[in-house]
A and B are shown apart, each in its own frame.
Chain A
Amino acid sequence: MKLSAWSRDELRARLASGGLCLNTGPFISRIRTRIPAVVDGIALLYADNAVAPDAPFADFHIALSQPLGLRRWYKPQVLFDVDRAVPFKPLPLNQALPLLEWGLNWCIGIYAHRFLIVHAAALEKNGCAVILPGPPGSGKSTLTAYLVHNGWRLLSDELALVSLQDGRITPLARPVSLKNQSIDIIAKAVPGATIGPRADDTAKGTVALMKAPTDSQERIAETARPAWVIFPRYTAGAEAVLEARSKADTLIELGRNAFNYSIHGRRGFEVLARLVEGCSCHTFTYSNLQDAQSVFAALAAQPRPAKQASA
């Protein structure tokens, strides 16, 4: 059942009583909140997600609430908790929706060690996944937001979940976090995109969340085999250029960007080494999104070797 099947009143009531079990990729998150902006945000951004009215088991039990006391009125704040433990300091109330996303990411980073979790976006076409690692400012989210409306399926914007068994990527398909100028760029370049309210002055500047396209939810059970690792680099005015990158360097960089790489020890290295072995690795400089799309389309059209990433 899709979340959009519920009326706003029903959604509000369920979120208030803690009975909303939302499927977010492979995880079930039980969410509790009474904050109106979060209720509206969930209704908008998670409309296509599956919900279970009474899921017996949830992976994460989270709540967003307003601290009691003076803070209720004076510079109101929002508090995130996981099963009543509070991992971060409260944030200004206008950041409640981004905090939900950061909190869910935190839960995955801390608990979901059945995956190797790489800080990267991941997209899919024809069963093949491209992994886009990139520090803030590399244009990773902007590129992701554009491509998932132009021929690619969203697997994840922030966390690429790599299976320890077969190296495949499990989709998370949560909202894409757009920052600063990229909010307007995407609003203009992708008229069909659903973009939530802007939260100003966050640690990452202004943040707005873009809803994951409907097909990414409908195909949430389909994993994908990594075929490319591409490090995007937005450079103002640059031509779209795809360059080969050494596998050794790609491996080291992916390891540096994997949240739980050291937790997995030798196994983490082996999983990444196999992944890099089965991928073609590149650096991608770009400034224009349409040019970027052409380069990616050409890449996807090339025949891929039949070799499995797990081989």
Chain B
Amino acid sequence: MTTLPVTEGTGSLLPALLRRPGAFASLSLQQWDLVIRQALRAGILARLCFQLDEMGLLDAVPDRPRHHLEAARTVAQKHMRDVRWEIACVRRVLEKHDISVTLLKGAAYAMADLPPARGRLFSDIDFMVPRHRIEEVERILIEADWGSAALDEYDQQYYRRWTHQIPPLQHYKRNTVLDVHHTIVQITARDAVEADLLAAASQPLGDDARLRILAPADMVLHSAVHLFSEGEFDRGLRDLLDLSDLLRHFGNQPGFWEALPARAEELGLTGPLHLTLRYVERVLGQPIPEAMREARRRWRPSPGKRVLHDALFLRALQPDHHSCHTPLTGFARWLLYVRAHYRRMPLGLLVPHLLRKSFHRPPEEEEPPRVLPLRR
């Protein structure tokens, strides 16, 4: 049995605990002091509260750290209420127009009551509509009090021409943000995905056939491509835990593990899936069924690439807290940011885009508002 790091500067206590959650029962106050901060920064404090509660360990947590866990849970419950309310509002607005909406990521987890929903904090609500109707959807939402969040002309054009979504829409009163997509991966990306395939496999959520979620395998693949291709890892550990939750949940359904590799190949997303399985196993210690072994061998990148992947992802998937930073963490995160952009756009588009972004910084955020809005 490995011993747990005790104090600051001795590494990532939190991932060690996530691999052996039983050890939460025997933490010292000093260790809690670090765990609470790492979990808060990683965006999983509320999730941890739910997990400890389910394991029957919450009541045994000393008062002070428990207050922080429960406070985070209270905030997450508020987010959940707000998201459900907001989706009901969107639904009501689009209902009359016979447009089917496929909820993505957190919105889907929340409405389908999937495990990653517990303790989740939302910064926006993502959903997908058919591409040929996306402009109509935007118009309808703008008429219903959502407006384009303040963006300059360049950003507006960039979203519309090159990405898989329209510019984010923000409700003028509630400040909630909608991300309306027409597919799950940027259209200029190397692993661009046929939206029709996703829509055809999507499943109705309850009675309303126009409110849908992705099929289990597609949901996993979307979450995987989001984590490993977006390039921003400040919530990397949280996203990896989402994947772990989804794999555990759907993994119990018959046929899931057989369908997953085939679907990854069909959609061209074997790369992100391979990385998911590798790091769910390596970072969180979650066993992956034998059924996947053959496919994983087939997708395995060259040994050199594997070493590089480990060097980058094992750093970036730690909590973004100073106690978890190694001298190379910042560099690893930066390389992954560049990698994501490189995979997302051809160089001819990427270079002018990044140049522009580095010279036109958005104005700094004002002081935080009084209550926590959904926006990050």
**Contact indicator B78/A265 (Cβ below 8 Å):** yes
In the complex with contacts A260-B371, A265-B81, A57-B64 CB distance below 8 A: yes
Q: Are A111 and B71 in contact (CB under 8 A)?
A: yes
Q: Are B367 and A112 in contact (CB under 8 A)?
A: no
Q: Which of A280-310 contact B (CB under 8 A)?
A: none
Does the CB pair B37–A113 fall under 8 Å?
no
Give the CA-CA distance A59 to B64 in the complex, in Å: 7
Query: Is B226 in the interface zone, CB < 8 Å from A?
Result: no
In the complex, chain B residues whose CB is within 8 Å of the CB of A56 = 28-30, 33
CB-CB under 8 A from A259, the residues of chain B are 370-371
Q: What B residues does A265 contact at CB under 8 A?
A: 77-78, 81
Query: Which of B62, B65, B75 contacts A113, CB < 8 Å?
Result: B75
A292 and B30 CA atoms in complex are apart in Å by: 47
Contact A57 B32 (CB under 8 A): yes
A88 contacts the other chain (CB 8 A): yes
Q: Are B70 and A114 in contact, CB atoms less than 8 angstroms apart?
A: yes
Q: Is the pair A112, B71 in contact by a Cβ cutoff of 8 Å? A: yes
Residues on the A chain within 8 Å of B91, using CB: none
Docked-complex contact A88 and B74, CB < 8 angstroms: no
Indicate if the CB atoms of B68 and A59 lie closer than 8 Å: yes
Is A87 close to B, CB under 8 A? yes
Map CB proximity to B onto A71-95 as digits: 1 under 8 Å, 0 otherwise. Answer: 0000000000001110111000000
Say if the beta carbon of B249 comes within 8 Å of chain A.
no
The reply to whether B372 and A57 form a contact with Cβ atoms under 8 Å apart is: no
CB distance from B264 to the nearest CB of A (A): 37
Q: Given the complex, which residues of B lie within 8 Å of A59, measured CB to CB?
A: 64, 67-68
Q: Is the interface of A mostly helix, strand, loop or mixed?
A: loop
Instruction: Say yes or no: A264-B65 contact (C-beta < 8 A), given A56-B29, A56-B33, A88-B367.
Output: no
Q: How far is the CA of A114 from the CA of B49 in the complex (A)?
A: 14
Which chain B residues in 58-108 approach chain A with CB under 8 Å?
Answer: 62, 64-65, 67-68, 70-71, 74-75, 77-78, 81
B322 proximal to A (CB < 8 A): yes
B contact patch SS: helix
Asked if B56 is at the interface (CB within 8 A of a chain A CB), the reply is no
Tally of B interface residues using CB under 8 Å: 28
> Residues of B contacting A244 with CB < 8 Å?
none
Query: Once bound together, how far apart are the Cα atoms of A141 and B163, in whole Å?
Result: 53
Residues of B within 8 A of A57 (CB): 29-30, 32-33, 62, 64-65
Which of B41, B78, B368 is within 8 Å of A262, CB to CB?
B78
A263 interfacial contact with B, CB 8 Å: yes
CB pair A61 B37 closer than 8 Å: yes
- Contact assessment for B74 and A113 in the assembled complex, using a CB-CB cutoff below 8 Å: yes
Contact status A114-B71, CB under 8 Å: yes
For residue A43, CB closer than 8 A to chain B, the reply is: no
A89 touches B367 (CB 8 A): yes
Kindly state whether residue B294 has any CB partner on chain A within 8 Å: no
Residues of A within 8 A of B370 (CB): 109, 259
CA distance A264 to B77 in the complex (A): 9
How far is A260 from B247 in the complex, measured between Cα atoms in Å? 35
Inter-chain contact count A-B, CB under 8 Å? 60
- Chain A residue total in the interface (Cβ 8 A): 25
A242 CB-CB contact with B under 8 Å: no
B371–A87 CB distance below 8 A: no
Task: List which B188-247 residues lie within 8 A (CB) of chain A.
Answer: none
B364 interface residue per 8 A CB criterion: yes
Q: How far is the CA of A84 from the CA of B321 in the complex (A)?
A: 9
Which A105-120 residues sit within 8 Å CB-CB of chain B?
106, 109-114
Asked if residues B41 and A83 are in contact (CB atoms below 8 Å), the reply is yes
Bound-state Cα–Cα, A109 to B371, Å? 9
How far, in whole Å, are A111 and B71 apart by their CA atoms in the complex? 6
Min C-beta distance of A255 to chain B, whole Å = 12
- The CA-CA distance from A109 to B71 in the complex, in Å, is 11
Residues of A with C-beta under 8 A to B33: 56-58
A28 within 8 A of B: yes
Shortest distance between the CB of B65 and any CB in chain A (Å): 7
Residues of A within 8 A of B62 (CB): 57
B371 surroundings in chain A (CB, below 8 A): 259-260, 262-263
A264 to B40, CA, bound (A): 19
Given contacts A56-B33, A57-B33, A84-B322, contact A114 B368 (CB under 8 A): no
Decide: A89 near B364, CB < 8 A? Known: A113-B71, A114-B70, A264-B74.
yes
Q: A106: which B residues are within 8 A, CB to CB?
A: 368
Task: Find A87's partner among B28, B368, B372 (CB 8 Å cutoff).
Answer: B368
Residues on A with C-beta less than 8 A from B81 are 265
Shortest distance from the beta carbon of B41 to any chain A beta carbon, whole Å: 7
Given the known interface contacts A57-B32, A83-B41, A111-B71, the answer about A263 and B78 at a Cβ–Cβ threshold of 8 Å is yes
Neighbouring B residues of A88 by C-beta, 8 Å = 367-368
Question: A57-B65, A88-B367 are contacts. A263–B74 as well, Cβ < 8 Å?
Answer: yes
Check A114/B67 contact, CB under 8 A, given A57-B33, A259-B371: yes
A-B contact pairs, 30 of them (CB 8 A): A56-B28, A56-B29, A56-B30, A56-B33, A57-B30, A57-B65, A58-B33, A59-B67, A61-B37, A83-B37, A83-B322, A84-B322, A87-B367, A106-B368, A109-B370, A110-B368, A110-B372, A111-B68, A112-B67, A113-B71, A113-B75, A114-B67, A114-B71, A262-B371, A263-B78, A263-B372, A264-B74, A264-B78, A265-B77, A265-B81
Residues of B at the A interface (CB closer than 8 Å) are 28-30, 32-33, 37, 40-41, 62, 64-65, 67-68, 70-71, 74-75, 77-78, 81, 321-322, 364, 367-368, 370-372
For the complex of A and B, list the 5 residue pairs with the smallest distance between their C-beta atoms, beginning with the closest.
A56-B29, A113-B71, A56-B30, A57-B29, A113-B74
